Structure 1
Amino acid sequence: MTEERQDIVTEARSWLGTPYVHQASTKGAGADCLGLMRGVWRAVMGVEPEAVPSYSMDWSEPQGEERMWDAARRHLIAKPVKEAAVGDVLLFRMRDGRVAKHVGLVSQIKPLPQFIHAYSGHGVVENTLSDPWRRRVVACFCFPRKDM
């Protein structure tokens, strides 16, 4: 694991226990899944690359637009899901036929894959990437290098 990837995981783990708060991105006070990724980005990469518009709990489902996926493509580097590594960002489709609107960070591959995410009713947690979660993964991205 590169030092940069370890920094990403260490930062994400420092958010564990942060309560779930929709649209928030403040370590210890509140975050949703996107807010967690935004906070990790700020700590590891610096200034956020774009302002995040207000969003509802149903995201862009009524319009059927893949807004989170599109944003990930703009700022992260896409890679095959089967090549997911520690420090990578996973995008989840919570229901078949719906837009991808949940995001987490791979924190461990072996002995069991784990990921860190902010989940309604649970806050920021580290969970096993079990089959029910794994089958919802639709995309994988890595952070760009700091010098890019």
Structure 2
Amino acid sequence: MSDPHTRRAVLACAQSWIDTPYRHQASVRGVGTDCLGLIRGIWRSLYGEEPETAPPYTPDWAEETGEETLLMAAQRCLIPTEAPMCGDVLVFRMADGAPCKHLGVLSAPDRILHAYWGKAVVESHFVPFWRRRHVASFAFPTLLQD
């Protein structure tokens, strides 16, 4: 990658995580990751050190706390976007009234890359199931158009 701060660089990095097994709280390409770990790994590839240390969290952390922890962290560390573009981070709310609990990267207008619970990092169709749950989009900081 000639410039690590382009959408093309984000996508190339995200795609390099495909088939990494799902592992709760992990963030090691090829070994294991969850959805947050995927975004953390992309961040490390682009910028080096992560902007915040992720606290320990249980699989049902959102249901237990009821807090928008994931959304608030995205708001602190990423740049909100009105219309998501390829390479943007998508935030999902898995149930009405529940806190946001899932992240992915828009890889094409009709596809997302994400750590699929119990499986691996995959590229999925951005079907109505996911579109209904999409609540916010963010760009990595200092992204250049390419």
TM-score, normalisation: structure 1: 0.91
Instruction: Could you tell me which runs of 5 or more consecutive residues in structure 1 were left unpaired when the two chains were aligned.
Output: none
CA–CA distance in structure 1, aligned partners of residues 143 and 15 of structure 2: 20
Using a 3 Å threshold, how does the CA distance of structure 1 residues 9 and 146 change in structure 2: closer, same or farther? closer
Tell me which residue corresponds to 2:136: 139
Match of 2:77 in 1: 75
Which residue of structure 2 aligns with residue 123 of structure 1? 120
- Cα contact 2:62–2:100 (8 A) shared by 1: no
Within 5 A, what are the aligned runs for 1:51-70? 51-70=53-72
Count of aligned pairs between the two proteins: 141
**Misfit runs of 4+, over 4 Å:** none
What is the CA–CA distance in structure 2 between the aligned matches of 1:9 and 1:47, rounded to whole Å? 19
2:9 counterpart residue number: 7
SS in 1 for 2:6: helix
Q: Give runs of aligned pairs for residues 87-98 of structure 1, distance below 5 A.
A: 87-98=87-98
8 Å contact from structure 1 (residues 45, 146) kept in 2: no
> Residue 18 in 1 paired to residue 15 in 2?
no
AA in 2 matched with 1:91: V
Look up the SS of the partner of 2:64 in the other structure: coil
Instruction: Name which of 49, 52, 56 aligns with 2:51.
Output: 49
Matched, 1:106 2:112: no
Deviations 1:1-37 (A, max 9, x none): x971000000000000000000000000000000000
Q: What percent of counterpart residues are identical?
A: 48
Q: Which runs of 5+ in 2 are unaligned?
A: none
Q: Give CA-to-partner distance per residue, 1:28-55, whole Å, 9 cap, x none.
A: 0000000000000000122100111000
Distance 1:4 1:98 in 2: 33
